[in-house]
Amino acid sequence: MKAEAIKKIAVIGAGNMGHQIALACALAGFGTSCCDASREQLQKAEGFMKSYLPGRVAKGKLKEEEARAAAERLTFTESLEEAAREADFVIEAVTENLELKREIFARLDGIAPAHAVLATNSSFFVSSLLAGSTRRPALVCNMHFFNPALVMKCVEVVQGPHTAPETAALAMDLARKLGKEPVLLKKEIYGFLVNRILARISEEALFLLDTGVASAEDIDRAVVNALGHPMGPFRLMDLTGIDLSYHIAMERYRETGNPLDKPSPTVVEKYVRGEWGRKTGRGFYDYSEK
Ligand code: CAA
């Protein structure tokens, strides 16, 4: 199957990543259904679409008819049945909870057409942890987008031992149709490419903060102005979610048993306080005014 043959995409989860992945699919011309169990999350996702598309038109980045067509192609639903029953390709982007993902993959397997690919956008669970919940392991892979998904060009496609090469090729092809520059991982590895590299940067930044060497603001300023990164590691953690940083470190620690892999004291403190970054209005920076 080629990406041109994909008529319908289902994106499961309308959170931080899912709402933008769904909109990217609709903008690329695919009939897209965005599903979330939370009505409030769906309303937020729809609200984002309704402000984002006119904003793109006003900026001259999109024609009015293109914006209208994208909005018509994107539907929102609380029903997994409705989202997936005609889908040729499913991208799961629910919270990073393995049991939940397994349950959703098992349900999707019963709902989606037999040819449909089931991809996960998980930041750290490899798809072999999910493939066994389905009767179509050859059609299961990782397709990992970056935040904000409408902007970031990279998509990591991970071909697990169970993934058919054609499935990975289709995910790569679809990513290109979404205007992305995908990369292929020929083996499963914890953290894939980008989060492994990013974790080293964040760990060092947290060490410098936790040991009182410099403030978060100055560490960010140094990384932006000396290394040319678009934003420093603390602003980035606020963007991607400190809850995600916490879970990534905990998952790594569970895997290795190495105490050095535990989340840093600052991350634990912020996680427990519910200061998870932009999504909660406060993280390393305060967003309550915005
Ligand atoms: N959603 C959608 N679009 C957004 C956006 C958002 N939240 N924030 C910015 N944009 C768009 C703007 O509309 C603008 O688009 P155009 O140029 O086409 O008009 C463009 O991005 C630039 O925006 P701004 O000028 O307002 O701001 P900026 O230049 O500071 O860019 C940024 C903002 C794109 C977020 C930039 O700071 C950046 O690239 N930061 C690094 C992000 C990053 O590293 N992401 C990867 C995180 S790791 C991850 O995601 C791992 C994981 O597993 C979840």
Same domain flag for 115 and 241: no
Tell me the CB-side half-sphere exposure of residue 189, using CA atoms within 13 A. 11
Distance CA 45, CA 242 (A): 21
- The separation between CA 212 and the C-alpha centre of its own chain, rounded to angstroms, equals 32
Q: Is 33 in the pocket of ligand 1 (CB under 6 A)?
A: no
Task: For 124-145, write each residue's pLDDT tens digit.
Answer: 899 999 999 999 999 999 999 9
Query: Considering only CA atoms, which residue is closest to atom 5 of ligand 1?
Result: 148
Residue from 53, 146, 151, 285 whose mutation best tests the ligand 1 pocket (most atoms within 8 A of CB): 151
State the pLDDT at residue 290.
60
Same domain flag for 159 and 219: no
Amino acid at 147: N
Domain-located, residue 175: yes
Q: Is 150 in the pocket of ligand 1 (CB under 6 A)?
A: yes
- Domain containing residue 275: CATH number: 1.10.1040.10
Assigned token pair, 100? 């939940």
The helix or strand, by DSSP H or E, that contains position 264, with its residue range, turns out to be none
Same domain flag for 169 and 231: no
Atom of ligand 1 nearest to the CA of 229: 41
Same domain flag for 176 and 229: no
Same domain flag for 88 and 171: yes
Same domain flag for 158 and 50: yes
Same domain flag for 198 and 180: no
Same domain flag for 149 and 47: yes
Ligand 1 centroid – CA 153 distance (Å): 10
Task: For 152-193, write each residue's pLDDT tens digit.
Answer: 999 999 999 999 999 999 999 999 999 999 999 999 998 899
Q: Is 142 in the pocket of ligand 1 (CB under 6 A)?
A: no
Ligand 1 centroid – CA 48 distance (Å): 15
pLDDT greater at residue 196 or residue 77: 77
Assigned token pair, 186? 């020929």
How many domains are contained in the chain?
A: 2
Q: What is the mean pLDDT of the chain?
A: 96
Same domain flag for 50 and 128: yes
- In this structure, what are the phi and psi dihedrals at residue 254, rounded to the nearest 5 degrees? -60, -35
pLDDT greater at residue 146 or residue 1: 146
Domain termination site, one of 185, 208, 229:
185
**Of residues 120, 148, 112, the one with CA closest to residue 19:** 148
- Known catalytic membership, residue 217: no
Distance CA 160, CA 118 (A): 13
Distance CA 174, CA 188 (A): 20
For residue 244, give the DSSP letter.
Answer: H
Same domain flag for 263 and 163: no
Distance CA 74, CA 24 (A): 10
Instruction: Give the 3-state secondary structure of residue 209.
Output: helix
**Of residues 165, 167, 166, the one with CA closest to residue 143:** 167
Ligand 1 centroid – CA 260 distance (Å): 31
- In this structure, what are the phi and psi dihedrals at residue 167, rounded to the nearest 5 degrees? -70, -45
- Is omega for the bond preceding 165 within 30 degrees of 0, making it cis? no
Percentage of the chain exceeding pLDDT 70: 100
Domain termination site, one of 128, 150, 185:
185
Q: Is 231 in the pocket of ligand 1 (CB under 6 A)?
A: yes
Domain-located, residue 253: yes
Neighbours of 107 (CB within 10 A): 16
Task: For 12-64, write each residue's pLDDT tens digit.
Answer: 999 999 999 999 999 999 999 999 999 999 999 999 999 999 999 999 999 99
Domain extent, residue 31, equals 3-185
pLDDT at 150 exceeding the cut of 90 = yes
Domain-located, residue 286: no
Confidence label for 1 from pLDDT (cuts 50, 70 and 90): confident
pLDDT at 261 exceeding the cut of 80 = yes
Task: Classify the C-alpha dihedral 25-103-158-197 as positive or negative.
Answer: positive
| Catalytic option among 16, 121, 133, 195 | 195
Same domain flag for 66 and 116: yes
pTM of the complete model: 0.94
Same domain flag for 84 and 218: no
- Known catalytic membership, residue 33: no
- Known catalytic membership, residue 247: no
Assigned token pair, 172? 């790569």
State the pLDDT at residue 28.
98
Contacts of 158 (CB under 8 A, 6+ apart): 126, 127, 141, 142, 144, 168, 185, 188, 192
Domain termination site, one of 185, 217, 248:
185
- Known catalytic membership, residue 123: yes
Environment class of 225 (CB within 10 Å of its CB; exposed 0-12, middle 13-18, buried 19+): exposed
Domain-located, residue 178: yes
Rounded to an integer, the average pLDDT of 100-126 is 97
